[in-house]
Amino acid sequence: MIDPNVLGALADVVGADALIARPGETRVYECDGWTMARQVPDVVVLPRTGEQAAAVVRVLHRHGVRFVPRGAGTGLSGGCLPLDAPVMICTSRLNRIVEIDLINRRAVVEAGVVNLAVTRAVAAHGLLYAPDPSSQSACTIGGNVAENSGGPHTLKYGVTTNHVLAVELVLPDGEVVELGGAMEDVPGYDLRGLVVGSEGTFGLMTRATLRLVREPEAWRTLLGVFETVSDASNAVSGIIGAGIVPAALEMMDRLIVEAVEAAFHFGFPTDAGAVLIVELDGAAAEMDPQMRDVIDVCRTHGAREVRVAEDEAQRAALWKSRKRAFGAVGRLAPNYCTQDGVVPRTKLPDILRTISAVGERHRLRIANVFHAGDGNIHPILLYDERDADEVRRVIAAGQEILRACVDLGGSITGEHGIGVEKVGELPLIFSPQDLLVMQQLRGVFDPDQRANPGKIFPTPGACVEVSKPRRQVPV
Ligand SMILES: Cc1cc2nc3c(=O)[nH]c(=O)nc-3n(C[C@H](O)[C@H](O)[C@H](O)COP(=O)(O)OP(=O)(O)OC[C@H]3O[C@@H](n4cnc5c(N)ncnc54)[C@H](O)[C@@H]3O)c2cc1C
């Protein structure tokens, strides 16, 4: 348990009402969206300002205490699991939009601001914040930066790193540094770029300066219905191959369509093998000719039906269904584990065949909903955590799928990060020398490995009890 002196010093900084230390209350923070492993923190600290956050980190530095940063806990790789770190610093009260600069199209926000709140704050001015993870109504900018998050519209607009100009970071010794800057091109090493995607292992981010983009003049959104996932995958390659770059290109297979339809009643055909959501955006004059090309490609690859959203309400309903697809999965099984891998787009049919074969071999149901345009797959492995053998099969199946991604020329994560989940898979894509250099780099920011220990790279002494079956839902 945490030293009472440390607890006292933390209370002096943030006030007792910003500390959560009662076992019943800390349990809420035992995991993120990857529920395979759980660990309750000794204490959760909720600073209200960047200054308080820095003072908290200085207290921890003085006492040699490890900590884990947490945003909203929507991560899907166990990134904010308090592994060998008694203190969790949660940014939910760092939720102010500090400045909106409309002329220069920038926003300065605190780390705990929810992703969607940024777009909501600037929408009246015809601007938006482009990275839009499907969790955007809950996840924070700090979590997005730490994971370099993507989303449906990052096919055209790029991932988080393309939209972050600067970050304010509290280093693990409490020093506050500003990396990057408000200008578009800051000379010197791109330390801002290093922090994006560092999964909380360089310290605690307290602020970010974000790039805003203009809302496109027009949209067209299409639902393509296919008999097989193979046809839908070939249509994905066909669309990009035709020189069209949609704003978003998403796929859902039959199992997920059934769950989403039961939850939201959009009118998805539940007998289809797969559906594609294709969104175009840009100048109004370009929309109809481009959409005709997309429809042609879909039909060439066997689409049995194409539906273009007739108005904004239909478009919004379609996206609502897609973005809440993970939530609908609760209808299919008590538990699920979302995998995240990448393959070259043209290899989508191969990886989807492999996923299906892996599912059969391990006697598991696997649903697929993913950013097809990026080749970023998200097989969702359904299970019941009360069945220890099934949990083991889920873990083995996930590892096989990731290995297959690498064999097809892809990678072990597209956007959810390494966290705890994929520490063992890192050597599939990096040599021992690569890993050594990355750890040396981490040591520049965090020589004592006190920020988010046990993540990305194994830390000696850290221990994670993966797959300890524990009842999660009432029966
Ligand atoms: C339904 C659902 C849909 C999702 N869809 C997508 C998607 O489309 N695209 C996508 O990329 N991801 C998606 N995710 C994953 C997740 O939402 C993202 O990784 C998100 O960026 C996590 O943000 P968070 O605030 O919840 O971070 P957390 O889960 O709290 O933390 C994630 C990591 O960031 C670190 N961290 C958090 N805040 C800070 C900070 N201030 N300073 C330093 N480190 C910090 C943590 O230590 C941890 O390592 C989805 C998750 C769910 C549950």
Q: Which of 44, 56, 147, 421 to mutate to test the pocket of ligand 1 (most atoms within 8 A of CB)?
A: 147
Question: Which residues are CB-contacts of 387 (< 8 A; sequence separation ≥ 6)?
Answer: 469
Q: Is 33 in the pocket of ligand 1 (CB under 6 A)?
A: yes
Dist. CA 143 → ligand 1 center (Å): 4
Structure tokens at 302: 């066997």
Q: Give the pLDDT score at 468.
A: 44
Nearest to 232, CA basis, from 277, 270, 280, 276 = 276
- Residue 145, CA distances (Å) to 228, 244, 265, 414, 455 in order: 36, 29, 34, 14, 16
pLDDT at 158 over 60: yes
Q: Which of 67, 77, 134, 139 to mutate to test the pocket of ligand 1 (most atoms within 8 A of CB)?
A: 139
pLDDT at 471 over 90: no
Indicate the pLDDT class of residue 375, thresholds 50, 70 and 90.
very high
CB atoms inside a 10 Å sphere around CB 429: 15
pLDDT mean over 386-407:
97
Q: 164-170 and 176-180: which strand pairing?
A: antiparallel
pLDDT mean over 133-148:
97
Q: Which residue has the higher pLDDT, 61 or 472?
A: 61
Helix (H) or strand (E) segment spanning residue 253 = strand 248-253
DSSP 8-state assignment for residue 361: H
Query: Which atom number of ligand 1 is nearest to the Cα of residue 151?
Result: 8
Q: Which of 56, 76, 84, 202 to mutate to test the pocket of ligand 1 (most atoms within 8 A of CB)?
A: 76
Query: Which atom number of ligand 1 is nearest to the Cα of residue 325?
Result: 1
Beta bridge partners of 302: none
Which segments of 316-452 are extended strands (E)? 335-338, 341-342, 366-370, 376-377, 379-383
Dist. CA 323 → ligand 1 center (Å): 15
- What is the gyration radius of the CA atoms in the chain, in angstroms? 22
Q: Give the pLDDT score at 68.
A: 98
CB atoms inside a 10 Å sphere around CB 431: 9
Using DSSP's 3-state secondary structure scheme, residue 248 falls into strand
Nearest-CA residue for ligand 1 atom 7 is 133
DSSP 8-state assignment for residue 468: -
Angle at 389 (CA atoms; ends 383, 391), nearest 5 degrees: 40
Q: Give the pLDDT score at 254.
A: 95
CA atoms within 13 A on the CB side of 333: 21
pLDDT at 459 over 70: no
Indicate the pLDDT class of residue 31, thresholds 50, 70 and 90.
very high
pLDDT at 475 over 80: no
pLDDT at 66 over 90: yes
Q: Give the pLDDT score at 473.
A: 29
Q: Give the pLDDT score at 185.
A: 82
DSSP 8-state assignment for residue 38: -
Using DSSP's 3-state secondary structure scheme, residue 254 falls into helix
Q: Is 254 in the pocket of ligand 1 (CB under 6 A)?
A: no
Dist. CA 43 → ligand 1 center (Å): 21
pLDDT at 461 over 80: no
pLDDT at 35 over 60: yes
Indicate the pLDDT class of residue 458, thresholds 50, 70 and 90.
low
The percent of residues above 90 in pLDDT, for the chain, comes to 91
DSSP 8-state assignment for residue 439: H
Dist. CA 114 → ligand 1 center (Å): 11
Tell me the C-alpha distance between 176 and 207, whole Å. Answer: 11
Q: Which of 44, 80, 94 to mutate to test the pocket of ligand 1 (most atoms within 8 A of CB)?
A: 80
pLDDT at 12 over 90: yes
Tell me the C-alpha distance between 380 and 366, whole Å. Answer: 5
Indicate the pLDDT class of residue 327, thresholds 50, 70 and 90.
confident
Q: Give the pLDDT score at 182.
A: 86
pLDDT at 469 over 80: no
Lowest-pLDDT choice from 63-67, 121-125, 266-270, 442-446: 266-270
Dist. CA 78 → ligand 1 center (Å): 10
Dist. CA 50 → ligand 1 center (Å): 20
pLDDT mean over 31-37:
94
Q: Is 199 in the pocket of ligand 1 (CB under 6 A)?
A: yes
Q: Is 415 in the pocket of ligand 1 (CB under 6 A)?
A: yes
Question: Distance between terminal CA atoms of the chain?
Answer: 33
Question: Which residues are CB-contacts of 132 (< 8 A; sequence separation ≥ 6)?
Answer: 115, 119, 151, 152, 153, 154
Structure tokens at 253: 């297979």
The percent of residues above 70 in pLDDT, for the chain, comes to 96
pLDDT at 184 over 90: no
pLDDT at 369 over 50: yes
CB atoms inside a 10 Å sphere around CB 18: 18
pLDDT at 465 over 50: no
Contact 139, 111 (CB under 8 A): no
Contact 428, 412 (CB under 8 A): yes
Query: Which atom number of ligand 1 is nearest to the Cα of residue 199?
Result: 49
Lowest-pLDDT choice from 92-101, 160-169, 258-267: 258-267
Dist. CA 266 → ligand 1 center (Å): 28
Q: Rounded mean pLDDT of the chain?
A: 93
Q: Give the pLDDT score at 1.
A: 84
Indicate the pLDDT class of residue 472, thresholds 50, 70 and 90.
very low
Q: Is 200 in the pocket of ligand 1 (CB under 6 A)?
A: yes
CB atoms inside a 10 Å sphere around CB 90: 24
The predicted model scores a pTM of 0.94
Q: Give the pLDDT score at 462.
A: 46
- Residue 50, CA distances (Å) to 82, 286, 289, 403 in order: 21, 45, 50, 41
Q: Is 52 in the pocket of ligand 1 (CB under 6 A)?
A: no
